[in-house]
Structure 1
């Protein structure tokens, strides 16, 4: 787990809102190359690495997504502050009070700031606590001496510049991992560590397996292309959603039976359940009602595969998230068991 958590911390430190993933894909390409693989960046911006297996006639594909939620500059206000447009699905209150970075396309620099409600001061605005948070009243307070639109533009900031959020990553002595963007950088870290182990052990997987690190999952289409024709199974490794009526917790691996797009392949799901039971990996079955994955995007695009979804249990998804090392470990064990298993019957 130490190496997995090291990968996770490195990934979380790299800003990567959907559409602004060059730095994190560079990290993946460098890391995978250092491990002895031959990764490639696709035209869409995903990263793919293929591991040849004993059987090269039927392939597997495993995904985890490297992109995160974020925002983009929508307008520069008369007082020099910024209006935002969301990237990915989250309510505005989920980012209120968060520190952020504006990534300036014109000069490659960053400017820090804080995302706030316009009516933040309770000493001035009677409705500060009750007003609905919307695109029109959420703004970035820049850490620069700017009071006009012209002064902000003089920094190089322009409409379309990406804005990333401070992940605030913390690992507690009790084993909890708190951070934004555990969805889905936990899964990326798990796959990187497994690839490292397989290389170190000289392991020959039973089937040729493609590891696809998708870069535009948060907007719904990251892993729906670059699927080799020989692929018959598609496993998305993503987060398990927690909340009322959910079985998922922070200490087991969650196997999704259905999301907003419909049920996952029953035989594939039962194959994962049997592996978990046989190897005494703690797991929970669950339905994620407002959720889609790379695997469901692939199915919508017409992929002729069996598809499944599993992942670590993530508390407060799309906000300041939390999981536990036990859940990460259970996820890694189940992915490993699957990759070493026979095809789903």
Structure 2
């Protein structure tokens, strides 16, 4: 098996550029256009689904049944629930994340006709000089935070006058930092780090003109954070599906912080045993640092596909991530390990003929 170099600099560069693009679920056109442009540069054939997800093709010697690699472009975010009398915005989460990690976030509110406004998510009781110890006793809930707009607004009428509406989407700044020690600290590494790893794999395949044994569909989904995932992007001919997402680095977990993790089970149940062991064997034969883990409160693009009735073997591979859906941190070595495993996988024969 040919094992070319994964371009670490390319992976880091494409990740940094994607993290600069706001893409909460429901507002993914810009990130989709970015990835489409990158696929065109790489010479990869692709199509857009009716909803705007991407289905790309890495052709192989056998066309059917094919295999698929899935990764999601959408991120967490929020939405305007109410325009309050005090000129602040009550909000609801888009995707599943705690308001604990929203406090203090800088945001952009996206309105109609290209309008947008900057602001900050703050607790309802934000000043100790006013509320004293009450600031420490507020519950952790979305009803306990609000968006403070950086506009001269004193009441709800003022807010509506500048064009803000209920239902406007709110994107959360990433505050991305690449450290000299190889860590990336940023919101929304889930799952843009996975996307960067997939694109680095594709680049290695195309630049080295690697022949694949079977067609590989690479699908970029746009609604994983709200549970829809890969169900609306897959075709009916996929025999193997490997999703790429984050694995949680925390006490009680066995996620590999600097390598790749093969998930044995999540909330949707056990993943395919044969496909999992095939991936583990590829890690061993390619000397890729790896581990196995089981996730209790987790679902991915795979879950929605299986629940929709797709008759496919399915697996999940992960980069190691600390504080997922919060103040995230991961290491470049883990992203590279994911890309290396994907590269080995797309060159390998199907698990079952």
TM over 0.5: yes
1:125-158 Cα distance to aligned partner (Å, 9 max, x none)? 1310121022322100111111111111122110
Match of 1:94 in 2: 101
Per-residue deviation, residues 306-334 of structure 1 (Å, max 9, x unmatched)? 00000110100000100111111111111
How far 1:22 sits from its partner (Å)? 0.7
Does the 8 Å CA contact 2:54/2:221 hold for their aligned counterparts?
A: yes
Within the candidate set 107, 129, 143, 1:123 is matched to 129
Who is 2:120 aligned against?
114
Contact 2:221 2:233 in 1 (8 A): no
Question: How much does 1:281 deviate?
Answer: 0.5
Q: Does 1:276 align with 2:316?
A: no
The answer to whether the Cα contact below 8 Å between 1:102 and 1:163 also exists between their aligned partners in 2 is yes
Separation in 2 of the partners of 1:232 and 1:61?
A: 8
TM-score (norm 1): 0.97
The answer to whether residue 174 in structure 2 is matched with residue 172 in structure 1 is no
Per-residue CA shift, 1:26-73, capped at 9, x if unaligned?
Answer: 111111112222322211221111121011122001101000000001
Measure the CA separation in 1 of the matches of 2:226 and 2:143. Answer: 22
Unaligned runs of 5+ in 1: none
The Cα offsets for residues 179-230 of structure 1, whole Å up to 9 and x where unpaired, read as 0011100110111122222222222211101000000000111201232232
1:44 corresponds, among 48, 51, 54, to 51
Equivalent in the alignment of 1:244: 251
Q: Using the alignment, how far apart are the partners of 2:118 and 2:47 within structure 1?
A: 32
Structure 2 unaligned runs (5+)?
A: 1-7
Post-superposition offset of 1:91: 1.2
Structure 1 residues 229-272: Cα deviation after superposition (integer angstroms, max 9, x where no partner):
32100000111112121011321111100101111011111111
Match of 2:5 in 1: none
1:200 aligns with 2:210: no
- Equivalent pair of 1:107/1:156 in contact (CA under 8 Å): no
Query: What is the CA distance between 1:118 and its match in structure 2?
Result: 0.7
Structure (1/2) with the larger helix percentage? 2
Is residue 59–residue 212 contact of structure 2 (8 Å, CA) maintained in 1? Answer: yes
Q: 1:184 aligns with which of 161, 173, 191?
A: 191
Aligned twin of 1:139:
146
Aligned length: 344
